[in-house]
Amino acid sequence: MVALMLNPSRKKTGTGQVSGSIETIENLPGNYHEIVQQGISDFRDKPWLQKLNSIAWTEETWNMAWGCSKVSEGCRNCYASDLVKRWGFGSTKPRLWVTEGESGSGKGWKVEKGRRVFADSYWIKLRKWNQTAKENNSIMVVFVGNMNDSFEDHSVTKRELRKLWKIIQETPYVHYQFLTKRPERIKESLPSDWYDYANGYPNVWLGVSIESQDVAYRFDRYLADIPASVKFVSYEPAIGPLKGLRWDKLDWIIVGGESGPNHRPFDHKWAEDVRDLSSRHGVQFFYKQDSARFTNRGQKLNGVKYYNYPIPRQSLHKSTGLNSIVKEDQFEFVKHLREKFDKQSWITWNPESRKLEPNPKLKTTLLEIWPLDNETALSFLDPSCGIWCWNWCTALGVALEDCLECKHSKGEEVYWNEYWEKHPDLKEENVTKAIDILGELAESIREELDHIEFFELDSKSRRHLNNYMDSLEEKYQEDQKRNEWLESELSRLQKKSA
């Protein structure tokens, strides 16, 4: 993943409204990924941010609770456990760094079972940040839990986390960075609809803390195979070497020595090794600091500042699944074309899940048409056939879309020769066959929708189907000429190659 420098329109408003007032992660605007890319390109350089947090790899911090318990060597000199003492926790107020503590309250504070909790006036910050980011056509990145572990097995923490998931759903312009030393609890702590999205919630980054090779299993065993828009490792405090990781599953790694009066030694060779391995595997490398008494000391590694950030991968809701190709502007190639070989139903309506689901045979057929290279195919493997097929369709669309964008900037014959050399696995006959089968897919969706007892559906499903039908009809009219051009172009190529 690399941070792309984009320049989409970034109009500010004074009304708190922007075009496309979709406020949940389930119904994102069509340019959402572009907004995210811009937000990452401007990381910690957004003029509308009132202040920056001292943690260099985020823009702001927020905690649903204060308090934790230590689980490994990386926790030995925990700065947060010392920081809370400044506010009297552990002396005049209940202790917070315990497994299960006391309860109490006073002016401006409340503790339940050893965990400080906060009033609604504090939680409202998230919605305010979301609105500000939206008004500026950007995102805000927030580290959730610098004063606790969000996945801790504590009754209060678990309750507050359930409350937070609901807000996360409703604040898509805030990206939440979760970091834990309890990775074995990640899966059970995720919301029930996490896997309804291609890569989990699109505005959630999942990370684990790894202080040395001894605990590298935290990522390899527990996080590497969980879908997420960003998967990252905080190798901080680095107190031992780290080389062995499932690097192919990692998007971002943060490296830093320990800070504080009792900071432990840090060998720059450890950071250099991680930097080199990150470069080799395409992982974004962030160097935070040397080991020192105070934080953010020595922010360069061998004289170079490494402040690199990942671009979150897209993660659309699977209930829109194949229908979302309309939003991604890929479905235009197949809207009105019909299937010309084996007649079968590619799409069925599952009355139990109340979702459109593809016939499993579709996946096999698509691979026969266009066998993706191993790396791409592996990235598409998913328990849900629906999202796999959508990813396949999107990949095909990406491979084809420059037909329309670049054709006019080069001589036509020169362009097409270059195009087929660039995509040797995408032969003309396969393109035609793929367009045909996807055309049948579009028609099957229409047919299945006609057989659904519409008014028996819940309101959310009705809304999805209504929005889909409206979008399909509108896009069909807009793209008819473009589809005719593609059909004639492919016909010309076939005649030429005959």
- Selected residue with higher pLDDT from 308 and 421: 308
Per-residue pLDDT at 408 exceeds 60: no
Q: Which residue has the tokens 């939206």?
A: 134
Cα-based distances in Å from 466 to 251, 454, 470: 37, 10, 6
E-only strand ranges, 26-158? 60-62, 104-106, 109-112, 115-117, 140-144
Cα distances from 460 to residues 91, 164, 454, in angstroms, run 51, 22, 12
DSSP string, 334-367: TSS----SS----EEEETTTTEEEE-THHHHHHH
- 18-35 average pLDDT score: 73
pLDDT tens profile 192-238: 999 888 899 999 999 999 999 999 999 999 999 999 999 999 999 99
Q: How many CB atoms lie within 10 A of CB 5?
A: 10
What are the φ/ψ torsions at residue 183 (nearest 5 degrees)?
-65, -25
What are the residues whose beta carbons fall under 8 Å from the beta carbon of 304, sequence distance 6 or more?
Answer: none
- Tell me the pairing of strands 60-62 and 140-144: parallel
Give pLDDT, residue 120. Answer: 94
Helix axes 428-450, 385-406, angle to 10 degrees: 130
Contact 286, 308 (CB under 8 A): yes
- Per the prediction, the chain carries an average pLDDT of 74
Inter-residue contact 182 to 158 (CB < 8 Å): no
Cα–Cα dist 228/200, whole Å: 5
Given a cut of 50, whether residue 172 has pLDDT beyond it is yes
| Separation between Cα atoms, residue 407 and residue 492, nearest integer Å | 15
Residue 316 confidence (pLDDT): 79
The alpha carbon of residue 441 and the mean position of all alpha carbons in its chain are separated, in whole angstroms, by 27
* Averaged pLDDT for residues 230-249: 95
* Sequence-distant (≥ 6) Cβ neighbours of residue 226 within 8 angstroms: 186, 187, 190, 200, 206
Write out pLDDT tens, residues 419-472. 556 655 555 555 555 555 555 554 554 454 444 444 344 455 445 555 555 555
pLDDT of 217: 95
For residue 466, the model assigns a pLDDT of 54
pLDDT at residue 90 above 60?
Answer: yes
For 343, phi then psi, to 5°, come to: -80, 125
pTM of the full predicted structure? 0.64
Respond yes or no on whether the N-terminal peptide bond of residue 94 is cis (omega within 30° of 0). no
The confidence score (pLDDT) of residue 91 equals: 87
Q: Is the dihedral of CA 24, 25, 31, 34 positive or negative?
A: positive
Closest to 144 (Cα-Cα) out of 60, 225, 43: 60
Can you give the three-state secondary structure of 65-84, one letter per residue? CEECCCCCHHHCCCHHHHHH
| 3 state DSSP class of 271 | helix
What phi, psi does 118 have (nearest 5°)? -125, 155
What pLDDT score does 61 carry?
96
Flag the least confident range among 261-270, 294-303, 382-391, 478-487.
Answer: 382-391
